[in-house]
């Protein structure tokens, strides 16, 4: 029972994704077309990249509620600088990613130096980022963006299937994060810090530095997500990011990463984001109300956390 | 000892209160958010009219659309601040009712602006757009533009159970001459001509996703109804990516400056324009009448709606985008 529960927590997300996809493929002949699958990837790329940052944070037993709002701030900053600021598009993108990275660094600083709980710190920075976004943009969407800002929303044909540059960027980032967590000392320190912070500290790991690095890296991820969001919608949107913070937690949890820290696989979060995207797409194809998508997501989240709990108890 | 220390402060407070009443009666305005350009315009209108009439306007809002608790707090605070009348655009038609009842029991006039409460008579009066009529206008226009071609319609709606969303949706189908529900219905009608329906929450990115998904299953679509102009822009994005932006009619509702510009640029075929400034002016005027003479407004007041289209269609009256731009809200 114990081993089976643990295996289910790891394999569960993949099985759920396959089951859902099979179901929708049987319901609609459109579902399995390359075009449709490409679309699902485009729809999940923003939450997918945000979820990389969120996974790193949750692996340390933390949580980042500010990710959506920080993303909105980064997106508006790059859009404003590139249009009204007269900055070259590349520099504007750099500045936007810079802003979100600094936001992540500040989260990390408050958590490690003043020893405030991540939930509270990021609740605060979520509000600060929202307010700053409204102030700098005067609550107006920024339009007429230069092509470089929307490039990641464009697609290139691979065979007959369109693939968005943004989706490739997301896959590359997942590859990088996977390598970082699996192959580097920093990755192992991260897992150790999340699993048992006191034991990790006593064994010589600079846990505060690990945490600071994690929140800063997460901030950088939100900057890339901001660029993806801007590219996808074609505007710098000050109302963006209002649901994304919890959407990322959903993706991470569905992906099998433990909210108690120390356990999980980064690629699981991509699978988690895809599960949500597949349901939204598939139910629309079937003509089913989006209320059911919300219902299914809720059930899956509870199921995923229950599996995690029983795996924990089994240890 | 403590009471003595507090005395000067209490006196100061009393003087401060006196100052407030010197600057005229207080009227409260509570919007859904502080940041939506529609409500920014509404606040400007209310502020200007209040100043002209010698009243002070207190403005409050929820944190985001749907934030009922924030609106309740704002209402309580405004009544506590001595407001004689409160104009409110409710985020949650039902949940706000108890708070409004309390305010009215305290003798405060409450007028719903833009969005009605449920039940309607929970407020003294409702001033707003006839959303069903707004839908009918764009429905009739889309029908006329389509000519005799069979309609394949996508609707991008708001959220389940929202009366405004249902009225626009069902009004659109009614105007199009399709089987629909009447204005009292809160469900969305789906005649066979509507091939795909989805909720975009009024958000551009989410509307784009809905449109992309609908296009997967129904590439033959030729008419798209959208709940508001950001949703229309999202639908246009999806159609453009599919190379279909030229031969699909997108119609919408709101009349924001950005949306009217999208009509001028041919992204949207038409939009039904509503008038938040006018709502606010009428609301403040009614509040002043109540404060000076005790006469309460009642029932529903239509604040007007007009069709804005770049290409006029036979048998349908419309404003040009230039005319629409003169009366639009948001940043020009």
Tell me the whole-structure pTM to 2 decimals. 0.81
Residue B36 tokens read as 């939506």
User: Across the interface, do A30 and B216 touch by the CB < 8 Å criterion?
Assistant: yes
Residues 131-160 of A with CB under 8 A from B: 134, 139-141, 143, 155
- The alpha carbon of residue B276 is apart from the nearest alpha carbon of chain A, in Å, by 17
Q: Are the C-beta atoms of residues B165 and B159 closer than 8 Å to each other?
A: yes
Q: What is the ipTM of this complex?
A: 0.72
pLDDT of residue B243: 94
More confident residue, B13 or A150: A150
Of residues B64 and A57, more confidently modeled? A57
Instruction: Tell me the C-alpha distance between B270 and B263, whole Å.
Output: 6
* Summary mean pLDDT of chain B: 90
Contacts of A286 by beta carbon, 8 Å cutoff, 6+ apart: A24, A27, A28
User: In sequence order, what are the residues at sequence separation of 6 or more whose Cβ sits closer than 8 angstroms to the Cβ of residue B250?
Assistant: B224, B226, B232, B235, B236, B239, B267, B268, B269
Residue A238's closest chain B neighbor by CA? Answer: B35
Six-digit token pair at A132?
A: 């700053």
State pLDDT tens for residues A10-50. Answer: 788 899 999 999 999 999 888 999 988 998 999 899 999 99
- Chain A positions touching B197 (Cβ under 8 A) are 287, 289
Percent of chain A past pLDDT 90, that is, above it, reads: 68
To the nearest whole Å, the CA of B196 is away from the closest chain A CA by 6
How confident is the model over B128-163, as pLDDT tens digits? 999 999 999 999 999 999 988 999 999 999 987 778
Distance CA B236, CA B6 (A): 63
Question: Does B35 contact A43 at a Cβ distance shorter than 8 Å?
Answer: no
Taking the C-alpha atoms of residue B46 and residue B55, their distance in angstroms, rounded to an integer, is 10
Q: What is the pLDDT of residues B29-87, one digit of tens each?
A: 999 988 788 998 899 999 999 999 999 999 988 877 777 888 888 898 888 888 999 99
Inter-chain contact B214–A284, Cβ cutoff 8 Å? yes
The answer to whether the Cβ–Cβ distance between B258 and A289 falls below 8 Å is no
């Amino acid at each position: 029972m114990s081993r089976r529960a643990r295996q289910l927590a790891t394999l569960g997300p993949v099985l759920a994704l396959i089951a859902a996809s099979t179901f929708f493929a049987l319901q609609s002949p459109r579902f399995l077309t390359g075009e449709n699958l490409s679309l699902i990837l485009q729809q999940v790329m923003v939450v997918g990249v945000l979820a990389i940052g969120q996974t790193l944070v949750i692996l340390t037993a933390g949580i980042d509620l500010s990710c959506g709002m920080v993303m909105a701030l980064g997106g508006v900053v790059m859009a404003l600088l590139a249009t009204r600021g007269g900055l070259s598009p590349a520099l504007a993108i750099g500045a936007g990613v810079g802003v979100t990275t600094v936001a992540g660094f500040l989260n990390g600083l408050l958590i490690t130096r003043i020893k405030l709980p991540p939930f509270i710190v990021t609740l605060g920075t979520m509000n600060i980022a929202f307010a700053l976004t409204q102030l700098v943009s005067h609550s107006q969407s920024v339009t007429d963006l230069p092509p470089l800002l929307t490039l990641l929303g464009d697609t290139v044909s691979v065979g007959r299937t369109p693939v968005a540059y943004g989706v490739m960027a997301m896959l590359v980032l997942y590859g990088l994060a996977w390598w970082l967590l699996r192959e580097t000392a920093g990755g192992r320190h991260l897992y150790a810090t999340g699993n048992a912070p006191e034991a990790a500290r006593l064994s010589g790991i600079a846990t505060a530095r690990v945490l600071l690095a994690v929140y800063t890296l997460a901030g950088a991820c939100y900057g890339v997500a901001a660029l993806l969001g801007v590219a996808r919608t074609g505007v710098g949107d000050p109302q963006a990011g209002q649901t994304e913070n919890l959407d990322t937690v959903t993706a991470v949890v569905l992906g099998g990463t433990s909210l108690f820290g120390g356990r999980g696989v980064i690629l699981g979060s991509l699978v988690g984001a895809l599960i949500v995207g597949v349901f939204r797409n598939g139910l629309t194809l079937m003509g089913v109300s989006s209320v059911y998508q919300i219902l299914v997501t809720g059930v899956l989240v509870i199921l995923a956390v229950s599996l995690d709990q029983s795996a924990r108890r089994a240890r | 000892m403590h009471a003595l220390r507090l005395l000067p402060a209490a006196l100061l407070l009393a003087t401060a209160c006196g100052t407030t009443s010197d600057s005229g009666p207080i009227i409260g305005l509570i919007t859904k958010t502080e940041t939506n350009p529609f409500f920014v315009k509404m606040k400007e209108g209310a502020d200007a009219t209040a100043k002209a009439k010698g009243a002070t306007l207190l403005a409050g809002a929820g944190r985001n659309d749907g934030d009922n608790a924030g609106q309740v707090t704002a209402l309580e605070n405004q009544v506590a601040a001595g407001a004689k009348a409160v104009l409110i655009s409710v985020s949650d038609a039902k949940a706000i009712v108890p708070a409004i009842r309390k305010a009215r029991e305290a003798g405060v006039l409450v007028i719903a602006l833009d969005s009605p409460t449920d039940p309607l008579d929970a407020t003294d009066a409702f001033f707003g757009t006839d959303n069903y009529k707004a839908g009918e206008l764009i429905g009739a226009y889309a029908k006329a533009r389509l000519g005799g071609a069979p309609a394949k319609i996508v609707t991008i709606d708001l959220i389940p159970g929202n009366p405004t969303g249902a009225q626009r949706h069902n009004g659109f189908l009614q105007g199009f001459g399709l089987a629909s529900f009447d204005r009292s219905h809160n469900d969305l009608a789906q005649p066979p001509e509507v091939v795909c329906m989805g909720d975009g929450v009024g958000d551009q990115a989410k509307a784009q996703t809905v449109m992309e998904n609908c296009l997967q299953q129904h590439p033959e679509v030729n008419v798209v109804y959208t709940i508001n102009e950001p949703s229309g822009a999202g639908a246009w994005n999806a159609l453009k990516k599919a190379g279909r932006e030229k031969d699909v009619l997108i119609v919408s509702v709101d009349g924001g400056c950005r949306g009217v510009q999208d009509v001028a640029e041919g992204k949207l075929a038409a939009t039904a324009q509503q008038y938040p400034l006018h709502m606010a002016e009428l609301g403040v005027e009614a509040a002043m009448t109540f404060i000076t003479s005790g006469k309460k407004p009642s029932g529903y007041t239509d604040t007007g709606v007009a069709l804005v289209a770049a290409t006029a269609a036979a048998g349908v009256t419309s404003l040009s985008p230039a005319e629409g731009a003169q009366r639009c809200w948001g940043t020009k």
